[in-house]
Amino acid sequence: MTVGQQNRGEFSLGWKVLLAGVLGVMCGASPIPMNIIGFTIAPLQAEFGWTITQIVLPITIFGIIASLLAPFFGWLADRYGVRPVALLSLAAFGLSFVAVSLMPTTKAASTLYIYYALWVIIGLVGIGSTPVSWSRAINLWFVKKRGLALGILLLGTSLAAIVIPFLAPRVIEGYGWRSMFAVVALLPLCVALPVGYFLFREPTADERPVGLADEGGTLTGVMLSTALKDYRFWVIWLSIAVIAAAFGGAFVNLPKMLGDRGIDAKAAGSVMMVLGLGIFAGRIITGLLLDRFWQGIVAFPLLCLPAISCYILLGAEVTSPLAIAAGFLLGFAAGAESDLIAYLTGRYFGMAHYGKIYGMLYMPFGFFSAMSPLMYARVRDTTGSYDQILWVALVAYIVGGGLLLLLGKYPERFDSDEPVANPVAKAA
Protein backbone atom coordinates (compact mmCIF):
# COMPACT_ATOMS: atom_id res chain seq x y z
CA MET A 1 0.00 0.00 0.00
CA THR A 2 1.37 3.43 -0.94
CA VAL A 3 1.59 6.29 1.54
CA GLY A 4 -1.19 8.09 -0.30
CA GLN A 5 -3.41 5.03 -0.22
CA GLN A 6 -2.75 4.56 3.49
CA ASN A 7 -3.61 8.19 4.21
CA ARG A 8 -6.86 7.93 2.27
CA GLY A 9 -7.54 4.64 3.98
CA GLU A 10 -7.33 6.19 7.43
CA PHE A 11 -9.97 8.77 6.62
CA SER A 12 -12.17 6.36 4.70
CA LEU A 13 -12.28 4.07 7.72
CA GLY A 14 -12.36 6.65 10.48
CA TRP A 15 -14.39 9.61 9.18
CA LYS A 16 -17.65 8.56 10.90
CA VAL A 17 -15.84 8.22 14.23
CA LEU A 18 -14.13 11.55 13.63
CA LEU A 19 -17.48 13.24 12.91
CA ALA A 20 -18.96 11.85 16.11
CA GLY A 21 -15.87 12.97 18.01
CA VAL A 22 -16.14 16.52 16.66
CA LEU A 23 -19.74 16.77 17.85
CA GLY A 24 -18.81 15.15 21.16
CA VAL A 25 -16.06 17.68 21.81
CA MET A 26 -18.29 20.56 20.66
CA CYS A 27 -21.13 19.60 22.99
CA GLY A 28 -18.99 18.41 25.89
CA ALA A 29 -17.65 19.89 29.08
CA SER A 30 -14.45 21.29 27.61
CA PRO A 31 -15.76 24.25 25.59
CA ILE A 32 -19.33 24.91 26.74
CA PRO A 33 -18.76 26.11 30.34
CA MET A 34 -15.97 28.46 29.24
CA ASN A 35 -18.14 29.86 26.46
CA ILE A 36 -21.30 30.51 28.46
CA ILE A 37 -19.97 31.86 31.74
CA GLY A 38 -18.98 35.30 30.39
CA PHE A 39 -22.52 35.93 29.19
CA THR A 40 -23.96 35.15 32.64
CA ILE A 41 -22.05 37.96 34.40
CA ALA A 42 -24.48 40.78 33.62
CA PRO A 43 -27.77 38.91 34.29
CA LEU A 44 -26.48 37.31 37.50
CA GLN A 45 -25.22 40.67 38.75
CA ALA A 46 -28.60 42.21 37.95
CA GLU A 47 -30.63 39.45 39.64
CA PHE A 48 -28.51 38.60 42.69
CA GLY A 49 -25.97 41.43 43.07
CA TRP A 50 -23.04 38.99 42.98
CA THR A 51 -19.54 40.27 42.19
CA ILE A 52 -17.71 39.28 39.01
CA THR A 53 -15.37 37.14 41.12
CA GLN A 54 -18.32 35.29 42.66
CA ILE A 55 -19.89 34.72 39.25
CA VAL A 56 -16.80 33.30 37.53
CA LEU A 57 -15.80 31.19 40.55
CA PRO A 58 -17.88 28.24 39.25
CA ILE A 59 -15.49 27.92 36.30
CA THR A 60 -12.66 27.60 38.80
CA ILE A 61 -14.60 25.01 40.80
CA PHE A 62 -15.43 23.08 37.64
CA GLY A 63 -11.91 23.25 36.26
CA ILE A 64 -10.16 22.16 39.44
CA ILE A 65 -12.44 19.15 39.84
CA ALA A 66 -12.14 18.26 36.17
CA SER A 67 -8.35 18.56 36.19
CA LEU A 68 -8.04 16.30 39.25
CA LEU A 69 -10.33 13.70 37.69
CA ALA A 70 -8.75 13.78 34.22
CA PRO A 71 -6.17 11.03 34.92
CA PHE A 72 -8.90 8.82 36.41
CA PHE A 73 -11.15 9.22 33.38
CA GLY A 74 -8.13 8.64 31.16
CA TRP A 75 -7.51 5.37 32.99
CA LEU A 76 -11.16 4.41 32.55
CA ALA A 77 -10.85 5.03 28.79
CA ASP A 78 -7.66 2.92 28.65
CA ARG A 79 -9.25 0.14 30.68
CA TYR A 80 -12.84 -0.04 29.45
CA GLY A 81 -12.73 1.78 26.13
CA VAL A 82 -13.59 5.32 25.11
CA ARG A 83 -17.17 4.73 24.00
CA PRO A 84 -18.89 4.03 27.37
CA VAL A 85 -16.85 6.68 29.18
CA ALA A 86 -17.52 9.42 26.64
CA LEU A 87 -21.22 8.73 26.07
CA LEU A 88 -22.17 8.32 29.73
CA SER A 89 -20.29 11.46 30.68
CA LEU A 90 -21.90 13.39 27.82
CA ALA A 91 -25.38 12.41 29.02
CA ALA A 92 -24.61 13.31 32.63
CA PHE A 93 -23.13 16.64 31.58
CA GLY A 94 -26.28 17.59 29.68
CA LEU A 95 -28.53 16.64 32.59
CA SER A 96 -26.42 18.71 34.99
CA PHE A 97 -27.01 21.78 32.81
CA VAL A 98 -30.75 21.08 32.98
CA ALA A 99 -30.38 21.12 36.77
CA VAL A 100 -28.76 24.59 36.62
CA SER A 101 -31.78 25.86 34.68
CA LEU A 102 -33.94 24.88 37.67
CA MET A 103 -32.05 27.14 40.08
CA PRO A 104 -34.12 28.89 42.78
CA THR A 105 -35.03 32.53 42.26
CA THR A 106 -34.57 33.67 45.85
CA LYS A 107 -31.80 36.15 46.61
CA ALA A 108 -30.85 34.29 49.80
CA ALA A 109 -27.16 33.53 50.40
CA SER A 110 -27.95 29.83 50.00
CA THR A 111 -28.73 30.38 46.31
CA LEU A 112 -25.08 31.15 45.61
CA TYR A 113 -23.99 27.93 47.33
CA ILE A 114 -26.58 25.93 45.39
CA TYR A 115 -25.15 27.43 42.21
CA TYR A 116 -21.66 26.40 43.24
CA ALA A 117 -22.83 22.90 44.19
CA LEU A 118 -24.33 22.39 40.74
CA TRP A 119 -21.02 23.34 39.17
CA VAL A 120 -19.31 20.79 41.41
CA ILE A 121 -21.61 18.18 39.87
CA ILE A 122 -20.80 19.42 36.37
CA GLY A 123 -17.11 18.93 37.12
CA LEU A 124 -17.62 15.47 38.60
CA VAL A 125 -19.59 14.06 35.68
CA GLY A 126 -18.42 16.07 32.70
CA ILE A 127 -14.70 15.34 32.32
CA GLY A 128 -15.33 12.15 30.33
CA SER A 129 -16.92 14.28 27.58
CA THR A 130 -13.71 16.27 27.04
CA PRO A 131 -10.84 15.48 24.63
CA VAL A 132 -9.32 13.29 27.35
CA SER A 133 -11.64 10.57 26.06
CA TRP A 134 -12.38 11.46 22.43
CA SER A 135 -8.74 11.99 21.42
CA ARG A 136 -7.70 8.48 22.46
CA ALA A 137 -9.97 6.97 19.82
CA ILE A 138 -8.78 9.39 17.14
CA ASN A 139 -5.14 8.60 17.92
CA LEU A 140 -6.01 4.93 17.39
CA TRP A 141 -7.68 5.52 14.01
CA PHE A 142 -5.00 7.83 12.54
CA VAL A 143 -1.20 7.71 12.33
CA LYS A 144 0.04 9.29 9.10
CA LYS A 145 -2.43 12.15 9.34
CA ARG A 146 -2.72 12.26 13.13
CA GLY A 147 -2.07 16.00 13.38
CA LEU A 148 -4.80 16.81 10.87
CA ALA A 149 -7.25 14.32 12.43
CA LEU A 150 -6.71 15.75 15.91
CA GLY A 151 -7.07 19.24 14.51
CA ILE A 152 -10.40 18.27 12.96
CA LEU A 153 -11.51 16.56 16.19
CA LEU A 154 -10.78 19.64 18.24
CA LEU A 155 -12.68 21.82 15.80
CA GLY A 156 -15.51 20.91 18.14
CA THR A 157 -14.28 23.55 20.58
CA SER A 158 -14.19 26.19 17.85
CA LEU A 159 -17.68 25.24 16.70
CA ALA A 160 -18.84 25.69 20.28
CA ALA A 161 -17.07 29.05 20.38
CA ILE A 162 -19.05 30.07 17.29
CA VAL A 163 -22.45 28.61 18.23
CA ILE A 164 -22.58 29.49 21.93
CA PRO A 165 -21.76 33.23 21.59
CA PHE A 166 -24.47 33.44 18.94
CA LEU A 167 -27.00 31.43 20.94
CA ALA A 168 -26.41 32.39 24.57
CA PRO A 169 -26.94 36.18 24.53
CA ARG A 170 -30.06 35.84 22.37
CA VAL A 171 -31.67 33.27 24.65
CA ILE A 172 -30.71 35.29 27.72
CA GLU A 173 -32.16 38.47 26.21
CA GLY A 174 -35.40 36.77 25.21
CA TYR A 175 -36.00 34.21 27.96
CA GLY A 176 -33.43 34.69 30.75
CA TRP A 177 -30.21 32.99 31.81
CA ARG A 178 -31.96 29.91 33.23
CA SER A 179 -33.53 29.15 29.88
CA MET A 180 -30.10 29.54 28.30
CA PHE A 181 -28.76 26.65 30.39
CA ALA A 182 -31.73 24.48 29.37
CA VAL A 183 -31.28 25.30 25.68
CA VAL A 184 -27.54 24.63 25.79
CA ALA A 185 -28.24 21.27 27.50
CA LEU A 186 -29.97 20.17 24.29
CA LEU A 187 -26.61 20.17 22.49
CA PRO A 188 -25.08 17.20 24.38
CA LEU A 189 -28.40 15.41 24.91
CA CYS A 190 -30.03 15.79 21.49
CA VAL A 191 -27.11 16.34 19.10
CA ALA A 192 -23.87 14.71 20.25
CA LEU A 193 -25.26 11.77 22.21
CA PRO A 194 -27.39 10.20 19.43
CA VAL A 195 -24.63 10.63 16.84
CA GLY A 196 -22.01 9.25 19.22
CA TYR A 197 -24.19 6.27 20.07
CA PHE A 198 -24.43 5.17 16.45
CA LEU A 199 -21.03 6.23 15.07
CA PHE A 200 -18.39 6.50 17.78
CA ARG A 201 -16.12 3.54 18.58
CA GLU A 202 -12.50 2.43 18.72
CA PRO A 203 -11.01 0.52 15.77
CA THR A 204 -10.77 -3.24 15.72
CA ALA A 205 -7.37 -4.83 15.25
CA ASP A 206 -8.00 -5.15 11.48
CA GLU A 207 -9.00 -1.49 11.16
CA ARG A 208 -6.07 -0.10 13.14
CA PRO A 209 -3.35 1.64 11.07
CA VAL A 210 0.13 0.17 10.92
CA GLY A 211 2.53 1.52 13.53
CA LEU A 212 0.45 1.55 16.70
CA ALA A 213 1.19 -1.95 17.97
CA ASP A 214 3.99 -4.47 18.15
CA GLU A 215 4.03 -7.74 16.21
CA GLY A 216 1.88 -9.38 18.88
CA GLY A 217 -0.86 -6.76 18.50
CA THR A 218 -0.10 -4.97 21.78
CA LEU A 219 -0.17 -1.18 21.74
CA THR A 220 3.27 0.34 22.30
CA GLY A 221 4.22 3.21 24.54
CA VAL A 222 5.64 4.02 27.94
CA MET A 223 3.93 3.66 31.29
CA LEU A 224 2.81 6.73 33.22
CA SER A 225 5.56 6.13 35.78
CA THR A 226 8.15 6.21 32.99
CA ALA A 227 6.67 9.36 31.47
CA LEU A 228 6.84 11.10 34.86
CA LYS A 229 10.61 10.50 34.92
CA ASP A 230 11.06 12.04 31.46
CA TYR A 231 12.01 15.75 31.40
CA ARG A 232 9.90 16.18 28.26
CA PHE A 233 6.74 15.38 30.22
CA TRP A 234 7.42 18.22 32.65
CA VAL A 235 8.41 20.67 29.93
CA ILE A 236 5.09 20.00 28.21
CA TRP A 237 3.27 20.17 31.56
CA LEU A 238 4.80 23.55 32.45
CA SER A 239 4.15 25.00 28.98
CA ILE A 240 0.50 23.97 29.17
CA ALA A 241 0.18 25.46 32.66
CA VAL A 242 1.65 28.83 31.69
CA ILE A 243 -0.42 29.20 28.51
CA ALA A 244 -3.63 28.03 30.20
CA ALA A 245 -3.15 30.47 33.09
CA ALA A 246 -2.90 33.31 30.59
CA PHE A 247 -5.63 32.22 28.18
CA GLY A 248 -8.46 30.96 30.38
CA GLY A 249 -9.12 34.26 32.09
CA ALA A 250 -8.83 36.26 28.89
CA PHE A 251 -11.37 34.02 27.20
CA VAL A 252 -13.96 34.16 29.98
CA ASN A 253 -13.51 37.85 30.74
CA LEU A 254 -13.22 39.07 27.16
CA PRO A 255 -16.86 40.28 26.91
CA LYS A 256 -16.32 42.32 30.08
CA MET A 257 -12.93 43.61 28.85
CA LEU A 258 -14.55 44.79 25.64
CA GLY A 259 -17.42 46.32 27.59
CA ASP A 260 -14.88 48.34 29.60
CA ARG A 261 -13.62 49.68 26.27
CA GLY A 262 -17.12 50.75 25.19
CA ILE A 263 -18.02 47.73 23.05
CA ASP A 264 -21.61 46.55 23.69
CA ALA A 265 -22.74 42.99 24.43
CA LYS A 266 -23.85 42.09 20.90
CA ALA A 267 -20.62 43.42 19.39
CA ALA A 268 -18.68 41.50 22.04
CA GLY A 269 -20.64 38.40 21.03
CA SER A 270 -19.50 38.96 17.46
CA VAL A 271 -15.89 39.18 18.66
CA MET A 272 -16.35 35.91 20.51
CA MET A 273 -17.67 34.32 17.34
CA VAL A 274 -14.57 35.54 15.50
CA LEU A 275 -12.52 34.05 18.32
CA GLY A 276 -14.26 30.77 17.58
CA LEU A 277 -13.31 31.14 13.91
CA GLY A 278 -9.73 31.71 15.06
CA ILE A 279 -9.84 28.47 17.03
CA PHE A 280 -11.22 26.77 13.92
CA ALA A 281 -8.36 28.05 11.77
CA GLY A 282 -5.79 27.28 14.47
CA ARG A 283 -6.94 23.67 14.73
CA ILE A 284 -6.64 22.90 11.02
CA ILE A 285 -3.50 24.88 10.25
CA THR A 286 -1.68 23.60 13.34
CA GLY A 287 -2.66 20.02 12.54
CA LEU A 288 -1.41 20.32 8.97
CA LEU A 289 1.86 21.89 10.11
CA LEU A 290 2.44 19.23 12.79
CA ASP A 291 2.18 16.52 10.13
CA ARG A 292 5.02 18.22 8.22
CA PHE A 293 7.33 19.96 10.70
CA TRP A 294 8.82 19.41 14.16
CA GLN A 295 6.45 20.73 16.80
CA GLY A 296 8.84 23.37 18.23
CA ILE A 297 9.03 25.47 15.08
CA VAL A 298 5.26 25.21 14.77
CA ALA A 299 4.31 25.82 18.39
CA PHE A 300 6.47 28.78 19.38
CA PRO A 301 5.31 31.38 16.85
CA LEU A 302 1.67 30.29 17.08
CA LEU A 303 1.57 30.39 20.88
CA CYS A 304 3.05 33.91 20.86
CA LEU A 305 0.11 35.32 18.87
CA PRO A 306 -2.03 36.11 21.98
CA ALA A 307 0.73 38.46 23.16
CA ILE A 308 -0.37 40.70 20.28
CA SER A 309 -3.98 40.37 21.50
CA CYS A 310 -2.94 41.50 24.97
CA TYR A 311 -1.15 44.53 23.51
CA ILE A 312 -4.26 45.49 21.54
CA LEU A 313 -6.52 45.15 24.58
CA LEU A 314 -4.12 47.30 26.63
CA GLY A 315 -4.78 50.21 24.28
CA ALA A 316 -6.70 53.22 25.53
CA GLU A 317 -9.16 52.91 22.64
CA VAL A 318 -10.09 49.54 21.22
CA THR A 319 -12.09 49.83 18.02
CA SER A 320 -14.25 47.01 16.73
CA PRO A 321 -11.72 46.01 14.02
CA LEU A 322 -8.93 45.86 16.61
CA ALA A 323 -11.15 43.85 18.98
CA ILE A 324 -11.92 41.41 16.17
CA ALA A 325 -8.20 41.04 15.39
CA ALA A 326 -7.41 40.45 19.07
CA GLY A 327 -10.16 37.83 19.32
CA PHE A 328 -8.99 36.01 16.20
CA LEU A 329 -5.34 35.82 17.30
CA LEU A 330 -6.37 34.68 20.77
CA GLY A 331 -8.55 31.97 19.30
CA PHE A 332 -5.94 30.84 16.78
CA ALA A 333 -3.41 30.18 19.53
CA ALA A 334 -6.02 28.43 21.68
CA GLY A 335 -6.66 26.09 18.78
CA ALA A 336 -2.94 25.42 18.46
CA GLU A 337 -2.47 24.63 22.17
CA SER A 338 -5.26 22.06 22.36
CA ASP A 339 -3.93 20.32 19.24
CA LEU A 340 -0.49 20.17 20.79
CA ILE A 341 -1.57 18.50 24.05
CA ALA A 342 -3.09 15.49 22.30
CA TYR A 343 -0.46 15.34 19.57
CA LEU A 344 2.58 15.54 21.83
CA THR A 345 1.19 12.92 24.20
CA GLY A 346 0.97 10.35 21.43
CA ARG A 347 4.25 11.31 19.70
CA TYR A 348 6.47 11.38 22.78
CA PHE A 349 4.88 8.68 24.94
CA GLY A 350 2.95 6.30 22.65
CA MET A 351 -0.55 4.84 22.89
CA ALA A 352 -0.30 1.96 25.39
CA HIS A 353 -1.16 4.24 28.31
CA TYR A 354 -2.29 7.31 26.39
CA GLY A 355 -5.36 8.01 28.51
CA LYS A 356 -3.51 8.18 31.81
CA ILE A 357 -0.64 10.27 30.42
CA TYR A 358 -2.97 12.62 28.54
CA GLY A 359 -5.06 12.94 31.69
CA MET A 360 -1.99 14.03 33.64
CA LEU A 361 -1.11 16.58 30.97
CA TYR A 362 -4.74 17.76 30.92
CA MET A 363 -4.50 18.54 34.64
CA PRO A 364 -2.53 21.79 34.27
CA PHE A 365 -4.75 22.80 31.35
CA GLY A 366 -7.92 22.25 33.36
CA PHE A 367 -6.57 23.63 36.65
CA PHE A 368 -4.95 26.81 35.37
CA SER A 369 -7.72 27.48 32.85
CA ALA A 370 -10.03 27.32 35.86
CA MET A 371 -7.91 29.52 38.12
CA SER A 372 -7.23 32.10 35.44
CA PRO A 373 -10.75 33.60 35.17
CA LEU A 374 -10.74 34.08 38.92
CA MET A 375 -7.37 35.86 38.77
CA TYR A 376 -8.54 38.13 35.96
CA ALA A 377 -11.80 38.90 37.77
CA ARG A 378 -10.00 39.58 41.06
CA VAL A 379 -7.65 42.06 39.40
CA ARG A 380 -10.65 43.77 37.76
CA ASP A 381 -12.62 43.92 41.01
CA THR A 382 -9.59 45.25 42.94
CA THR A 383 -8.07 47.74 40.49
CA GLY A 384 -11.01 48.57 38.23
CA SER A 385 -9.00 47.47 35.18
CA TYR A 386 -7.65 44.34 33.50
CA ASP A 387 -4.39 46.04 32.46
CA GLN A 388 -2.10 44.52 35.09
CA ILE A 389 -3.11 40.94 34.39
CA LEU A 390 -2.89 41.54 30.62
CA TRP A 391 0.77 42.55 30.98
CA VAL A 392 1.46 39.35 32.91
CA ALA A 393 -0.39 37.31 30.29
CA LEU A 394 1.59 38.93 27.47
CA VAL A 395 4.85 37.63 28.96
CA ALA A 396 3.32 34.24 29.81
CA TYR A 397 2.37 33.50 26.21
CA ILE A 398 5.95 34.04 25.04
CA VAL A 399 7.45 31.97 27.86
CA GLY A 400 4.95 29.13 27.43
CA GLY A 401 5.59 28.88 23.71
CA GLY A 402 9.36 29.07 24.18
CA LEU A 403 9.40 26.10 26.56
CA LEU A 404 8.37 23.72 23.78
CA LEU A 405 11.58 24.58 21.93
CA LEU A 406 13.36 22.59 24.64
CA LEU A 407 11.82 19.27 23.57
CA GLY A 408 14.01 16.95 21.54
CA LYS A 409 13.17 14.91 18.48
CA TYR A 410 10.28 12.46 18.50
CA PRO A 411 11.02 8.86 19.57
CA GLU A 412 11.33 6.63 16.51
CA ARG A 413 9.74 3.66 18.31
CA PHE A 414 8.44 2.65 21.72
CA ASP A 415 9.26 -0.35 23.84
CA SER A 416 6.16 -0.96 25.88
CA ASP A 417 7.28 -1.52 29.43
CA GLU A 418 3.98 -3.01 30.46
CA PRO A 419 1.69 -5.14 28.28
CA VAL A 420 -1.87 -4.01 27.75
CA ALA A 421 -3.62 -7.00 29.17
CA ASN A 422 -7.29 -6.07 29.06
CA PRO A 423 -9.28 -7.01 25.98
CA VAL A 424 -10.63 -3.52 25.28
CA ALA A 425 -7.25 -1.84 25.21
CA LYS A 426 -5.62 -4.66 23.27
CA ALA A 427 -8.32 -4.77 20.63
CA ALA A 428 -8.27 -1.00 20.31
| Residues 6+ away with beta carbon under 8 Å from 420 | 78, 218, 219, 352, 426
Tens digit of each residue's pLDDT (9 = 90 or more) over 236-261: 999 999 998 988 888 778 888 888 88
How far is it, in rounded angstroms, from Cα 89 to Cα 133?
Answer: 10
88 — pLDDT class (breaks 50, 70, 90): very high
Say how far residue 222 (Cα) sits from the centre of its chain: 24
What does the mean pLDDT of the chain come to? 82
Tell me the three state secondary structure of residue 115: helix
d(CA 77, CA 160): 24
Mean pLDDT of 52-73: 84
Average pLDDT for 304-324: 83
Q: What is the pLDDT of residue 385?
A: 84
Q: Is the pLDDT of residue 216 over 70?
A: no
Q: How many alpha carbons lie under 13 Å from residue 38 in its C-beta half-sphere?
A: 29
% of the chain exceeding 70 in pLDDT = 90
Select the more confidently predicted residue: 18 or 132.
Answer: 18
Percent over 90 (pLDDT), the chain: 23
Distance CA 240, CA 242 (A): 6
User: Of 145-149, 166-170, 264-268, where does mean pLDDT reach its minimum?
Assistant: 264-268
Domains of the chain, residue spans: 15-205+213-420
Q: What is the pLDDT of residue 213?
A: 57
Band of pLDDT at residue 86, cut at 50, 70 and 90: very high
For residue range 381-398, what is the model confidence (pLDDT) as tens digits?
888 888 899 899 999 999
Per-residue model confidence (pLDDT) at position 418? 43
pLDDT of residue 368: 87
Q: 106-115, 245-254, 258-267: lowest mean pLDDT where?
A: 258-267
CA distances from 26 to 49, 80, 188 (A): 32, 23, 8
Residue 235 has pLDDT above 90, yes or no: yes
What is the Cα–Cα distance from 419 to 220, expressed in whole angstroms?
A: 8
- Average pLDDT (169-196) is 94
Distance between CA 248 and CA 372 in Å, rounded?
5
Residue 121 has pLDDT above 50, yes or no: yes
Contact 335, 280 (CB under 8 A): yes
Confidence check: pLDDT of 8 > 60: no
Q: How confident is the model at residue 34 (pLDDT cuts 50, 70, 90)?
A: confident
What's residue 131's pLDDT?
82
CB count, 10 Å around CB of 244?
A: 27
pTM (2 d.p.)? 0.71
Phi, psi (5° rounding) for residue 297?
-75, -15
Reply yes or no on whether the pLDDT at 94 is more than 90. yes
Binning pLDDT at 50, 70 and 90, where does residue 366 land?
confident
For residue 245, give the nearest of 115, 122, 73, 67 by alpha carbon: 67
Q: Which residue has the higher pLDDT, 410 or 168?
A: 168
The stretch 347-370 carries a mean pLDDT of: 83
Domain 15-205+213-420: assigned CATH number = 1.20.1250.20
pLDDT for the residue numbered 186: 95
What pLDDT does residue 362 have?
82
